[in-house]
Amino acid sequence: AQSVTQPDIHITVSEGASLELRCNYSYGATPYLFWYVQSPGQGLQLLLKYFSGDTLVQGIKGFEAEFKRSQSSFNLRKPSVHWSDAAEYFCAVGLIATSGTYKYIFGTGTRLKVLA
């Protein structure tokens, strides 16, 4: 079955520390890959996306993500976290479902807490 797994429900880091949020997907081919961020009471904002080409993609707010085909992973990273990065992060894949329609499947999210 097609799925997206974010194994870490909560992550706490100190401000200035590095960050890595994990994302694994299950799909027979390479899907389109996305990371979104959701601040409290807000909708989701796109951080970055991967369609093809260079497996290391840069996004907004200093985030980057690396696609690893062999591991079916698309982990999000930031070298130095800021207090304003505290939010919930969602990994998503875009793929052709068995019904033939294009769908997005979201992970359950990782809630990031940043300590001052």
Q: Tell me: does residue 44 bind another protein (CB under 8 A).
A: yes
Q: Binding marks (x or -) toward another protein, 65..94, rule CB under 8 A?
A: -------------------------x-x-x
Among 21, 74, 107, 112, binds another protein (CB under 8 A): 107
Q: Which is nearer to another protein, 17 or 60 (CB)?
A: 60
DSSP string, 40-108: TT--EEEEEEE-SS-SEEE-GGG-EEEEEGGGTEEEEEESS--GGG-EEEEEEEEEE-TTSSEEEEE--
Q: Which is nearer to another protein, 46 or 56 (CB)?
A: 46
Q: Amino acid identity, residue 25? A: Y
Which residues are 96's β-sheet partners? Answer: 102
Q: Torsions phi, psi of 108, nearest 5?
A: -85, -5
Q: Tell me: does residue 27 bind another protein (CB under 8 A).
A: no
Would you tell me which residues interact with another protein (CB under 8 A)?
32, 34, 36, 41-46, 49, 51, 90, 92, 94, 99, 101-109
